[in-house]
Chain A
Amino acid sequence: MMSWPAPAVVRWLILAVWLALWELLPMTGLLPELFLPALSKTLGVLYLDRQIYFAALLITLYEVACSMLIACGLGILVGALIGGIALLRELLLPVFSSLYAVPIVILYPIFTAWFGIGSSSKIAFAGIYGFFPVMLSTAAGIRTIEPQFLLAARSMGASLPQLVTRVIIPASLPTVFAGLRLGGALTIIGVVVSEMLTASAGIGYLVTLNRTILDSPRVFAGILAILVLAIAYYMMARALERRMVVWQAAGRQQRLAPRLGSAAMPAPTAA
């Protein structure tokens, strides 16, 4: 029997094959450069225009950081209120849940009308885009706290502020984190998409600009920059999550994952 290589090895292999194909397919002439410029050419253009791309990346990063702050801050605040107060939940949760399925990108023209075509409209749009998963998972995290935890804490003499800081917050952390990871990813999507639609700066803008003049290597250079940004974000989020939620039992994660997963499905297509 031949044993299979470890999954990590396979992952790196797939990446290597993918990069090799990216380099080789255009070189052999199988694919015209307009469709796929070779990896080396893309990297070469990226190096040549590094100042332009770096400046654009800084703008995109700034917009992503601001919209993440809005999405996470507002999402946790509203989610905590909705999860904690039954009246608010009954009033607002159905509204928010159905809004989540709406492709918010159709509202982007309104955002440009209100905030102009500069960074503000991107920050506002992506902030709202990322707000929903954070808010919904925070509400779910608070709502699904084991009632025994609260009862036990009360029997041990916990006051209301102690219940919040010592039980409710740590108990809802895993679910909140799952929402933050998803919401953060959506703000990146939101910023890039809005930059591609109407903008004068940022990586998304560079991609659109170069596409209109059929400069394929520069389009792919922009795509590569965003890819690296998204992967870096994801790895940072996972590392932070692992540090903060060491205790997370496998059972709880499995119970929550399908629900969050299915709720997340409409979002990427909406973009």
Chain B
Amino acid sequence: MQHLANLTELRGGAAEPAIAVDGLSHVYAGADGGVAALVDIRLAVGKGRFVVIVGPSGCGKTSLLMMLAGLRQASQGSILCLGRPMPLPDPQRVGVIFQEASLFPWLTALDNIEFPLSLRGVPRAERRQRATAMLSLVGLEGFGERYPHELSGGMKQRVSIARGLIQDPPLLLMDEPFAALDEQTRMTMGHELLRIWSTTNKTVVFVTHSLTEAVYLADEVLVMSARPGRIVDHIAVTLPRPRRYDMMATSLFGQLRDRIWQQIRKLPDGA
């Protein structure tokens, strides 16, 4: 068995990225020949890394995320998630977390979290047990029977995160998950997310508008240009982990945020 284990390690070993995108371009079909949305995107996300994509509105960062999730197909180029392409959504490989509005209002918090399992026909008792565990992971014990409209914005987003984590996918894609939250809740939720991430060892790709959020959360920040979107900068965030709120006051934090801002300001759209 020993040599077999080694072989697997050689083939898909530590060097292989969790996400590999090569030569990805996308054109939205239209009467005038279409609009170029993404141009020649290349990126590699290492296993267990927290990567944040920032860019101006309409730069195609959400489109890119949808393609990584298998929810949309690119006109050109290749995407490999854990070594395999994504022709269709595969929730056991890639989990997606949307804004809070994507919780189903007709289901309780627990039923929302269980939803992906019930689609797969997981027995009710097992579902309930796993969902309850997720609920306490995101710090919402006792709120399982509440409906989304009975929860605050931050609580809804916690439920959303629990729903994304319940199938235990190694890859987690997050599309501006905290955009609808107020500044204070947003900071708390970012910190919570890092806590959860550090206990689950997942690879995260996180899309946001907020520069502060990007630097605070990320191992690496990818800056995208205005449409047609391309990656114009790749910044390694060398702040130590675990991150603390007081790091935002350090000069390194300021320099990193400024570098992203300079990149975005250079863009023709001005962001």
- Asked whether A155 and B104 contact (CB < 8 A) given A148-B98, A162-B119, the answer is no
Cβ of A249: which chain B residues have Cβ within 8 Å of it?
Answer: 105, 147-149
- A261 interface residue per 8 A CB criterion: no
Cβ of B107: which chain A residues have Cβ within 8 Å of it?
Answer: 247
Chain A's nearest CB lies how many Å from the CB of B53? 17
Using a CB–CB distance below 8 Å, which chain B residues touch chain A?
Answer: 66, 69, 71, 89-92, 95-96, 98-99, 101-102, 104-107, 115-116, 119-120, 147-149, 163, 167
Number of interface residues of A (CB under 8 A): 25
Q: Does A157 lie within 8 Å of B149, measured CB to CB?
A: no
> What is the bound-complex CA distance between A180 and B61, given in angstroms?
42
Question: What are 15 sample pairs from A and B whose C-beta atoms fall under 8 A apart?
Answer: A146-B101, A149-B104, A153-B115, A155-B71, A156-B96, A156-B116, A156-B119, A156-B167, A157-B92, A166-B115, A170-B106, A247-B105, A247-B106, A247-B148, A247-B149
Cβ of A252: which chain B residues have Cβ within 8 Å of it?
Answer: 105
- A201 interface residue per 8 A CB criterion: no
> What is the bound-complex CA distance between A238 and B105, given in angstroms?
20
> Beyond A157-B92, A252-B105: 20 further Cβ-contacts under 8 Å?
A148-B98, A148-B101, A148-B102, A149-B102, A151-B98, A152-B102, A155-B71, A155-B98, A156-B91, A156-B96, A156-B115, A156-B116, A157-B89, A157-B90, A157-B116, A171-B104, A173-B106, A246-B147, A247-B147, A247-B148
Chain B's nearest CB lies how many Å from the CB of A196? 41
Cβ of A146: which chain B residues have Cβ within 8 Å of it?
Answer: 101-102
Closest to B116 in A: A156
Query: Count the A-B residue pairs with Cβ separation under 8 angstroms: how many?
Result: 67
Cβ of A245: which chain B residues have Cβ within 8 Å of it?
Answer: 106
Using a CB–CB distance below 8 Å, which chain A residues touch chain B?
Answer: 146, 148-149, 151-158, 162, 166-167, 170-171, 173, 245-252
> What is the bound-complex CA distance between A152 and B119, given in angstroms?
12
Most chain B CB within 10 A, of A149, A152, A158, A170, is at A152
> What is the bound-complex CA distance between A151 and B62, given in angstroms?
12
> What is the bound-complex CA distance between A154 and B70, given in angstroms?
9
- Asked whether A151 and B115 contact (CB < 8 A) given A171-B106, A252-B105, the answer is no
Nearest 10 CB-CB pairings of A with B? A249-B149, A155-B96, A152-B102, A156-B116, A148-B102, A157-B91, A247-B106, A170-B106, A247-B147, A156-B91
Closest to A156 in B: B116
> What is the bound-complex CA distance between A225 and B27, given in angstroms?
66
Chain B binding surface, main DSSP class:
loop
> What is the bound-complex CA distance between A166 and B107, given in angstroms?
10
Chain B's nearest CB lies how many Å from the CB of A159? 8
> What is the bound-complex CA distance between A96 and B69, given in angstroms?
40
Chain B's nearest CB lies how many Å from the CB of A216? 51
Chain A binding surface, main DSSP class:
helix
> What is the bound-complex CA distance between A252 and B147, given in angstroms?
14
Cβ of A166: which chain B residues have Cβ within 8 Å of it?
Answer: 115, 119
Q: Does B105 lie within 8 Å of A151, measured CB to CB?
A: no
Q: Does A154 lie within 8 Å of B147, measured CB to CB?
A: no
> What is the bound-complex CA distance between A173 and B98, given in angstroms?
23
Closest to A150 in B: B102
> What is the bound-complex CA distance between A114 and B71, given in angstroms?
53
> What is the bound-complex CA distance between A167 and B118, given in angstroms?
13
Q: Does B89 lie within 8 Å of A154, measured CB to CB?
A: yes
Closest to A249 in B: B149
Q: Does A167 lie within 8 Å of B99, measured CB to CB?
A: no
Cβ of B104: which chain A residues have Cβ within 8 Å of it?
Answer: 149, 167, 170-171
Chain A's nearest CB lies how many Å from the CB of B90? 7
Closest to B100 in A: A148
Cβ of A250: which chain B residues have Cβ within 8 Å of it?
Answer: 149
Chain B's nearest CB lies how many Å from the CB of A199? 43
> What is the bound-complex CA distance between A109 and B106, given in angstroms?
45
Most chain A CB within 10 A, of B89, B95, B105, is at B105
Cβ of B69: which chain A residues have Cβ within 8 Å of it?
Answer: 155
Cβ of A162: which chain B residues have Cβ within 8 Å of it?
Answer: 119
> What is the bound-complex CA distance between A170 and B102, given in angstroms?
14
Closest to A159 in B: B119
Q: Does B91 lie within 8 Å of A152, measured CB to CB?
A: no
Q: Does B102 lie within 8 Å of A151, measured CB to CB?
A: yes
Most chain B CB within 10 A, of A247, A248, A249, is at A247
Closest to A173 in B: B106
Closest to A251 in B: B149
> What is the bound-complex CA distance between A173 and B115, given in angstroms?
19
- Asked whether A157 and B96 contact (CB < 8 A) given A149-B102, A170-B106, A249-B149, the answer is no
Chain A's nearest CB lies how many Å from the CB of B242? 29
Cβ of B147: which chain A residues have Cβ within 8 Å of it?
Answer: 246-247, 249
Q: Does A155 lie within 8 Å of B101, measured CB to CB?
A: no
> What is the bound-complex CA distance between A220 and B183, given in angstroms?
64
Q: Does B116 lie within 8 Å of A151, measured CB to CB?
A: no
Chain A's nearest CB lies how many Å from the CB of B8? 26
Cβ of B106: which chain A residues have Cβ within 8 Å of it?
Answer: 170-171, 173, 245, 247
